Copies of this chain bind each other. A is one copy, B any other.
Amino acid sequence: MSRVTNTKRVLQELFNQQETSRADIARDLKLNKSTVSSIYNDLDEQGFIEEVRVGHSTNNGGRRPQMIRLDRNYGFVVSFNIGANHLSSMFNFVNGELIRYNRQPIKDSDILSIMQMIKQEIMRMQCANETKHGLLAIGFSIHGIVDNEKIIDSPFLQLQGIDLQQYFEHEFHVPVVLENEANLSATFEHDFYIDHVVKDLISISIHRGIGMGVIANGSLYHGFRGMAGEIGRALTTTDENGHEGALVKVESLCSEDAILKQVRELVGPAKFKQERLADLYRDSADVQAIFNRAARLLAEVAYNAEVCFGPQAVFFNAAIFEELPDFYNNLKQELTKLGGTIPVKMVHGSRLTSLYGCASLSIHRVLQMDGYHLKFKLPKEIQLAD
Residues of A within 8 A of B (CB): 1-2, 199-200, 212, 214, 216-217, 219, 221-231, 233-235, 247, 303-305, 307-312, 338-339, 342
Bound-state Cα–Cα, A223 to B342, Å: 12
Q: From known contacts A217-B216, A339-B247, infer whether A228 and B310 are also in contact, taking CB-CB under 8 Å.
A: yes
Copies of the chain in the assembly: 2
Contact between A223 and B2, CB atoms less than 8 A apart: no
Q: From known contacts A2-B2, A234-B304, A235-B338, infer whether A221 and B216 are also in contact, taking CB-CB under 8 Å.
A: yes
> What residues on B are CB-neighbors of A217 within 8 Å?
216-217, 219, 221
> What residues on B are CB-neighbors of A234 within 8 Å?
303-304, 307
* A316 to B: closest C-beta gap in Å: 16
* A205 to B: closest C-beta gap in Å: 15
Q: From known contacts A1-B2, A2-B1, A339-B247, infer whether A310 and B216 are also in contact, taking CB-CB under 8 Å.
A: no
* A6 to B: closest C-beta gap in Å: 10
Contact between A310 and B227, CB atoms less than 8 A apart: yes
* A110 to B: closest C-beta gap in Å: 32
Most-contacted residue by chain B among A214, A224, A247 (CB, 10 A): A224
Contact between B212 and A310, CB atoms less than 8 A apart: no
> What residues on B are CB-neighbors of A247 within 8 Å?
338-339
* A311 to B: closest C-beta gap in Å: 6
